[in-house]
Amino acid sequence: MNRRSLLAGTVGLVGSMVMGSTRSSAEPATDGLPADPTRVPGKAATPYGQRSSFETAGRVSRAWWASLTPLQDSHGILTPSALHFERHHNGVPTIHPAQHRLLVHGLVDQPWTFTLDDLKRFPAVSRLAFIECSGNSAIEWKGPTGKTVQDTHGLTSTSEWTGVALKTLLQEVGVNPQASWMLAEGSDAAAMTRSLPLASMLDEAMLCYAQNGEPLRPEQGYPLRLVIPGWEGNTCIKWLRRLKLGRAPFMTREETSQYTDLMPDGKARQFTMVMEAKSVITSPSGGQQIQPGFLEIRGLAWSGRGRITEVEVSMDGGRSWRQAALQDPVLPKCHTRFHVPWRWNGEDVILQSRCIDETGYVQPDRAALVAVRGVNSVYHYNAIQSWRIAADGLVSNVHP
């Protein structure tokens, strides 16, 4: 075969590939879409960007008071603001930013009322941090209840938060040396309030007016919220209107009748602020169906005490474990993504993950957690999650 024949044959092969591609793309349009988008001018951009109409991931409601993040559809570690989980206690208020005020009083040298513009004049700080509702996975205390990972773990999200450091604001008003607790109160119809130990949160707490590069969404506390990285979500008071410093906890409704951990002996733990290390496999996970062959097991891990240092995955219900790779970035008090390659042979298996944080804390299995905490609690469930893959590839939530 000479060079000309070879080139002719190559051109013929390429031509047939192009023709095949052309024939494929010339199929009738569906739902009014052009058969070939290169032949039709596109739409103009909009003032505020919208996602593609083909993408349908959304939050789902848990009763009237919360909606859950679709972790099974997430990529990376950041949660879009529109998909960040939401929890309220008496609806989402509508607040005009120009009318909003923050009162700081109590054991301070100079009580002061700040406008939103006042707060924006202070040096701005930004950081990534997860927020997790202390009731995340609460439905799992007494048995496998959630059908999907959104059901079981969807009350957690990671965002970039921007605002003014709490310690900066307190330096402005002056803190009485006797002050050791702070009351934070919201402007919602529940007037949500929590007592917060001052020393434990002072280095990281923020008064935030922005999330992921834009003003807070109303359901995330617009125009102002408190964010305390690593602490349970209810302490991160939304629609923040008042901070009062005092000598002792203020013993509000939300820390006496609510947000306490009922123990087996009938006593209740109080002021358990930090969210312990936790992980979950997001793919494959409940409600999904897989086929035999190669796939990548993926998931998220996080800890209120710092960085995740290790994640292990079991494909046999916890009898043996494989170390997973941690995907950069690995940041303190943020979601961390992990993955491990796996080939499923079509047999019935149980997948699990467990994580270790920088303090050495190891995520417990369900038996170990229940042995200490019992099953009468509602909050701080961080046991290892188990997903059963049946022979037909269907994935379901189980407690082995």
Residue 283 pLDDT greater than 80, yes or no:
yes
- pLDDT reported for residue 32: 80
- pLDDT reported for residue 62: 84
Q: Which two tokens stand for residue 123?
A: 């040096």
Residue 83 main-chain phi, psi, to 5 deg: -110, 0
Across residues 291-306, what is the average pLDDT? 98
- pLDDT reported for residue 18: 33
Average pLDDT, the chain: 92
Of 284, 254, 287, which Cα lies nearest the Cα of 271?
254
One-letter amino acid of 338: F
* Residue 340's pLDDT band (cuts 50, 70, 90): very high
This prediction's pTM = 0.91
Length of the chain: 400
One-letter amino acid of 392: D
Cβ 322 vs Cβ 288: under 8 Å: no
SS3 assignment, position 160: strand
Across residues 133-147, what is the average pLDDT? 96
* Residue 13's pLDDT band (cuts 50, 70, 90): very low
Of 159, 139, 161, 142, which Cα lies nearest the Cα of 150?
139
Q: How far is CA 160 from CA 69, 131, 215, 335, in A?
A: 16, 11, 11, 12
Choose between 42 and 30: higher pLDDT: 42
Q: How far is CA 19 from CA 13, 15, 140, in A?
A: 10, 6, 55
Cβ 287 vs Cβ 312: under 8 Å: no
Cβ 71 vs Cβ 79: under 8 Å: no
Sheet containing strand 60-62, edge to edge, reads 60-62, 66-68, 86-87
Residue 122 main-chain phi, psi, to 5 deg: -75, 160
Across residues 311-323, what is the average pLDDT? 98
Tell me how far apart the alpha carbons of residues 3 and 226 are, in angstroms, rounded to a whole number. Answer: 73
Tens-place pLDDT, residues 237-279: 999 999 999 999 999 999 998 999 999 999 999 999 999 999 9
The enclosing H or E element of 366 equals helix 366-373
Q: Which residues contact 339 (CB under 8 A, 6 or more apart)?
A: 296, 297, 298, 299, 324, 325, 327
Choice among 21-30, 142-151, 182-191, 368-377 with the minimum mean pLDDT: 21-30
Residue with tokens 């930090």: 274
Q: Is the Cα dihedral 13, 17, 18, 23 positive or negative?
A: positive
- pLDDT reported for residue 257: 87
End-to-end Cα distance, the chain: 66
Of 40, 50, 112, 142, which Cα lies nearest the Cα of 375?
142
Percent of the chain beyond pLDDT 90? Answer: 89
Of 220, 209, 237, 249, which Cα lies nearest the Cα of 114?
209
Choose between 68 and 33: higher pLDDT: 68
Cβ 102 vs Cβ 359: under 8 Å: no
Tens-place pLDDT, residues 76-127: 999 999 999 999 999 999 999 999 999 999 999 999 999 999 999 999 999 9
- pLDDT reported for residue 223: 98
Q: Identify the structural domains of the chain with CATH numbers, from first to last.
A: 97-270 (3.90.420.10), 278-397 (2.60.40.650)
Q: How many of the other CB atoms lie within 10 Å of CB of 355?
A: 27
